[in-house]
Amino acid sequence: MKKRILTIFMVVIVMASLLACGKKDNGSGSEGSMGTLVIGTGAFNGVFSPFFYQTAYDAQAMELIFVSVCELDENNELKDKAGHIETEVIENDSKQQTKYTIKLNEGMTFSDGEAVTIDDLIFAYYVYCDPNYDGMSTFATSLDIVGLEEYREGNAETISGITRVDELTCTVLVDGVNIIGDRLLGLVQLVPKHYYGEDYVKGDLAGVKDKSSAPLGSGPFIFESYKNNIVTVKANENYFLGAPHISFVKYQVIDEEQKISAIIKGDIDITDPAASLEVIDELEDEEIPYSLTGYPGYGYIAISAKRIPDIKVREGLMHLMTRSQAIRTYYGDLAEIIERPMTPTLAEYPDDAGEYWGYDPQKALQCFKEAGYEQINGKLMKDGKQLVVEVGIGKAESHPSTPILTQMANDLRAMGGELIISDMEFSLLTNRVQRDDIDMWIMSWGNVTDCDMTQLYGSEYVKAGGSNRTWIQDAELDALMVEITKTLDFAERKQLVAEALDRVMSWATMLPVYQRKDMIIYNPDTIDMSTIPENTSTYYSYVNEIEKLKLK
């Protein structure tokens, strides 16, 4: 392979992985389309629902099937996609309200041929607002839609603030102002009411969930199958922005250690190995082109406050985590240690945040003793039980945070406790976290586009299916997060974010570890690089213009 180093930086907008290209022409698709794009990705959970997915890999497998009214541009600002949203602030004597007008493009159809109408978007809003909705979205709790509370409490059959204007237009009336209101409404994916809502009645989402294995949307590709760890989608000839040039896309599960060799062998053509000094050396030796951009997320170590309710024990565990050497050895200049659980790609990230806990085994032991543990015959004991904690990690042999756990286990063993390091497949780890079946875990959070932290730390999101798996339940933090979304002044909002993040840290359930660089590697022998958009960034990639991508 000839050496071709990219001169522009690119990144995906999904929470974890990137696309990859294949070479085989499967003989279908629109005129002029050809070939198969293979996506090197992580393990699927098989929940391909825009409402109920739990992992970034499942979300990635759906990103070409659905479109939303708007999307984010290279500057992380909202721009039109399948429609347009207007915002109007209404001032009166008693209160301030915001009216959003959403208008869809004419002539769009779903992949089954049915016309896209505003009823489909309104249906999606109602699913997110359902009193029994248990997915990850914060739509209903982050938007103070007029009439929503009455609807959720059973005192109304409709949401008075959501009004259908015509076949392609609706309005949504919200009390107060919200810095992410247009995003919450405009980034909702269009789903066919006639398909997902076939058996839906208020309070019963079983019928919507039943469609999770066979998604149907109006995007550039159509779901075809999921088998043998491969999701296959085919070109949608009626896509409103034009039929894709590529016939098929395959999302193929591949181990992290095999990504580069798979590119070299031509098994995949675009993928996203974790950027490290070792990886860069290998890429340069093999003359494989790569690009780097800031990852819109962060790696973290989490502790469940439900499984470890004593905060002194959690504090002790925090004092046993040392990050710097592990991360700098693995990443070098390709990552930075962060002190608060928020991606530094956001302007609201606190610039002067200092270390909150700090590595100190003596402080850790003191915390354990304050929690009631005693060193008896070489073991940390309380009520006749030794201090034993289990931590889950995926692919420990190649994970940058593994040395943190190794040091932690050694220190805890010296005190008389035990840290069980459970190395497991990502899908198994995700399932255990969702079931509250593990004390600690190492994961990363991605695709962060705004400073609303409700999904991760809101008290309402500790139930099954929510994202607050650390079980933080803090009324003052809840109030701070609500205030953040209503604060238009940037300096004031940034201060509120800093206060909220400090409060999260005080719970000793979340230790941010690093914010890394996103790496994308390409096989230029199969991809027409001239068809990748020039305006790529952390928030905008060729995925946004996938219908224009061509293979050689």
Angle at 260 (CA atoms; ends 258, 264), nearest 5 degrees: 110
Residue 224 is predicted with a pLDDT of 97
Judge whether 16 lies within some domain.
Answer: no
Confidence of residue 237 (pLDDT cuts 50, 70, 90): very high
For the stretch 388-418, pLDDT in tens is 999 999 988 889 999 999 999 999 999 999 9
- CATH number of the CATH domain containing 84: 3.90.76.10
For the stretch 97-124, pLDDT in tens is 999 999 999 999 999 999 999 999 999 9
**Separation between Cα atoms, residue 133 and residue 325, nearest integer Å:** 43
**Final residue belonging to a domain, choices 181, 209, 237:** 209
Average the pLDDT over 342-365 and give the result: 95
Judge whether 17 lies within some domain.
Answer: no
Kindly state whether residues 160 and 201 are assigned to the same domain: yes
**Final residue belonging to a domain, choices 209, 243, 258:** 209
Kindly state whether residues 256 and 385 are assigned to the same domain: no
Kindly state whether residues 86 and 44 are assigned to the same domain: no
Kindly state whether residues 96 and 128 are assigned to the same domain: yes
Kindly state whether residues 420 and 533 are assigned to the same domain: no
For the stretch 73-102, pLDDT in tens is 988 899 999 999 999 999 877 789 999 999
Average the pLDDT over 127-151 and give the result: 93
C-alpha count within 13 angstroms, C-beta hemisphere, residue 84: 3
Kindly state whether residues 199 and 238 are assigned to the same domain: no
Kindly state whether residues 173 and 99 are assigned to the same domain: yes
> Is there a contact between 254 and 268 (Cβ–Cβ < 8 Å)?
yes
Judge whether 8 lies within some domain.
Answer: no
Instruction: Name the residue with tokens 């798996």.
Output: 469
Kindly state whether residues 284 and 385 are assigned to the same domain: no
Judge whether 278 lies within some domain.
Answer: yes
Residue 12 is predicted with a pLDDT of 33
Kindly state whether residues 309 and 347 are assigned to the same domain: yes
Extract the tokens encoding 191.
């789903």
Q: Which residue has the higher pLDDT, 213 or 266?
A: 213
- CATH number of the CATH domain containing 47: 3.40.190.10
Judge whether 31 lies within some domain.
Answer: no
Kindly state whether residues 345 and 467 are assigned to the same domain: yes
- CATH number of the CATH domain containing 307: 3.10.105.10
**Separation between Cα atoms, residue 406 and residue 527, nearest integer Å:** 42
Judge whether 6 lies within some domain.
Answer: no
Kindly state whether residues 244 and 133 are assigned to the same domain: no
pLDDT at 359 over 90: yes
Residue 537 is predicted with a pLDDT of 80
Number of domains the chain contains: 3
Confidence of residue 293 (pLDDT cuts 50, 70, 90): confident
CA dihedral over 267, 270, 276, 282, signed as positive or negative? positive
Q: Is 519 left (phi over 0), alpha (psi -120 to 50) or beta?
A: beta
Judge whether 373 lies within some domain.
Answer: yes
For the stretch 14-65, pLDDT in tens is 333 333 333 444 333 344 448 999 989 989 999 999 999 988 899 999 999 9
Angle between helical axes of 361-370 and 402-415 (0-180°, round to 10): 60
Judge whether 21 lies within some domain.
Answer: no
Kindly state whether residues 111 and 250 are assigned to the same domain: no
Residue 463 is predicted with a pLDDT of 66
Confidence of residue 333 (pLDDT cuts 50, 70, 90): confident
Containing structural domain, residue 200: 70-209
